[in-house]
Structure 1
């Protein structure tokens, strides 16, 4: 183990099921260490320390679980959060063999400013993480993607463009897979809606001029006269 490896103190946990609420009330988070040919081990850790550590290392950085005189190299998995406080209420700790390569998902961090975007185009992120294979100690916490190289329309960054020490880390994604690109902004079609008639419009159309009223009365009178003629 290197001195730079992140670590956290833990204690053996005997409470399980609904009883773990007692631990959470004391500021502790239940966790489980598991691995190949390793029986699951129930532990508890400081919730405050775990929140801080996990926000920094995520699920792709090696962590030491210190339990008494024992040290377990693990990767965090399956975090569960409190719906209100957002504190971690449980987490799995996958025990790894430091001499065996493993496959893990590593997040991408985008930095810089794209000239293409500054010129009015849009940035389209296709993927924000990649899959890699490496020894646990060589797993990167994150991989930096500098989007300042995106200067023109249709410019893109692919997996092949990532800056990674390929002697230590093997990327499992296809090399031509697009990570991020720029494109023209979408032009929304203008929808012309018919204006609804307002009360004023209705009132205006319902009003008749004296000439129109006189014409209508004359038509009614003519119809009445014709009706009387038919009766005769």
Structure 2
């Protein structure tokens, strides 16, 4: 875990808006916005190839020095990347301009490192990562790329690594997660035999519940009493009206 180097990216002020931006995308140019730090939203565009290189290095936590045209460099974070659902190509980018003297909150990924325990290699256990990222509050220049967690310390079933055991500079970073929250743990591997047994037990439990429900059902009495109701019971007034009200309720629910 280390503070990240700042990466430069060139952008252009964008005058093409609305549906016309598809013409930019055809030429490999991606539309975007710059906002934040009491700034009015600005329309920009960047070369897709250049942006992908920056994204690979910076992720969501790395500071990017964005230069729009001939303006001075602005420190920004990549806050949102939209992809075309059909092609997977870059569709839109959001840049968040930061004040280097004010703290920001960003998600920082947790990366597992180290060799798997022998029990995992033997197929007896599995390493379960229950937390993939944590929210971190820090100055933009103090942000880190990720938190590395060494799983070699996991020896026995039930061993865990908690948020409180993450390695980072506590004077610079504030991790916004419960200290006792589990990041990763060593658990028993579920074999095919165990899966089959569990499925069989679930099926038996469902069958038992269905059988129990059938036994508890009230039998329907057929005949004149069943059709006309219990002797002496007075029908509710406006029976037809009640049906109409029910229908009206259905119409409202469909609106």
- CA change 1:77–1:143 in 2 (3 A) is same
TM-score (norm 1): 0.77
Q: Deviations over 1:7-57 (max 9, x none)?
A: 100000000111111111111111100013211111100101111211222
TM superposition outliers: structure 1 runs of 4+ over 3 Å: 189-192
Does the CA-based 8 Å contact 2:34-2:42 persist in structure 1? yes
Q: Secondary structure at the match of 2:20?
A: helix
Please list every run of 5 or more consecutive structure 2 residues that lacks an aligned counterpart in the other structure. 202-255
Q: Secondary structure at the match of 2:115?
A: coil
Does the CA-based 8 Å contact 1:101-1:136 persist in structure 2? yes
Partner residue, 2:166: 162
Q: Alignment RMSD, CA only?
A: 2.1
Partner residue, 1:230: none
Report the Cα distance in structure 2 between the residues aligned to 1:51 and 1:139, rounded to whole angstroms.
20
1:188 aligns with 2:188: no
Partner residue, 1:51: 52
TM-score (norm 2): 0.71
Partner residue, 2:207: none
Q: Deviations over 1:189-221 (max 9, x none)?
A: 4449xxxxxxxxxxxxxxxxxxxxxxxxxxxxx
Structure showing greater radius of gyration is 1
User: Which of the numbers 152, 155, 175 marks the counterpart of 2:179?
Assistant: 175
Report the Cα distance in structure 1 between the residues aligned to 2:86 and 2:56, rounded to whole angstroms.
17
What pairs with 1:18-167 in structure 2 (closer than 5 Å)?
A: 18-67=19-68, 68-115=70-117, 116-119=119-122, 120-167=124-171
Report the Cα distance in structure 1 between the residues aligned to 2:58 and 2:155, rounded to whole angstroms.
32
Work out the number of aligned pairs and report it: 192
Report the Cα distance in structure 2 between the residues aligned to 1:176 and 1:114, rounded to whole angstroms.
23
How many Å apart are 1:86 and its aligned residue? 2.5
How many Å apart are 1:184 and its aligned residue? 0.8
Does the CA-based 8 Å contact 2:63-2:77 persist in structure 1? yes
How many Å apart are 1:168 and its aligned residue? 1.3
Report the Cα distance in structure 1 between the residues aligned to 2:88 and 2:152, rounded to whole angstroms.
34
How many Å apart are 1:85 and its aligned residue? 4.2
